[in-house]
Amino acid sequence: MILIVPIFQACSGIPANSNSNTPIASEIKSEFPFSTKEPETYQGDFVVTIGTTEEHFFRARKGDSSRIDLFEGSDISSTQIVTDKIYNIDPARKIYTEESIASGALNSVPVFDATNGFFAGKEYTAFEETGHDGSITRYRVKNTDTSKGEILVSVDKASGLMVRQEFIASMVEGSEPAPNLIFEIRNLKLDVDEDIFRLPAGLRKVGKSEFRTPTPKADK
Sorted by where each starts, the structural domains of the chain and their CATH numbers stand as: 4-207 (2.50.20)
Instruction: Identify the weakest region by mean pLDDT among 24-28, 180-184, 212-216.
Output: 24-28
Q: How far apart are CA 112 and CA 117, in angstroms?
A: 9
Q: Which residues contact 64 (CB under 8 A, 6 or more apart)?
A: 21, 82, 83, 106, 107
C-alpha closest to that of 66 among 101, 94, 95, 15: 101
Residue 67: beta bridge partners?
A: 60, 81
C-alpha closest to that of 157 among 132, 128, 182: 132
Q: Which residues contact 67 (CB under 8 A, 6 or more apart)?
A: 58, 59, 60, 61, 79, 80, 81, 82, 196, 197
- Percentage of the chain with pLDDT > 70? 68
- Report the pLDDT value the prediction gives residue 144, as an integer from 0 to 100: 58
**The pTM is what?**
0.73
Q: How far apart are CA 161 and CA 136, in angstroms?
A: 10
Q: How far apart are CA 176 and CA 20, in angstroms?
A: 42
pLDDT band at 155 (very low <50, low <70, confident <90, very high): very high
Residues in the chain, total: 220
For residue 88, is pLDDT > 90? yes
Say if CB 199 and CB 89 are below 8 A apart.
yes
- Report the pLDDT value the prediction gives residue 141, as an integer from 0 to 100: 85
The dihedral through the CA atoms of 126, 172, 184, 45 has a sign that is negative
Element (H, E) at 119: helix 113-120
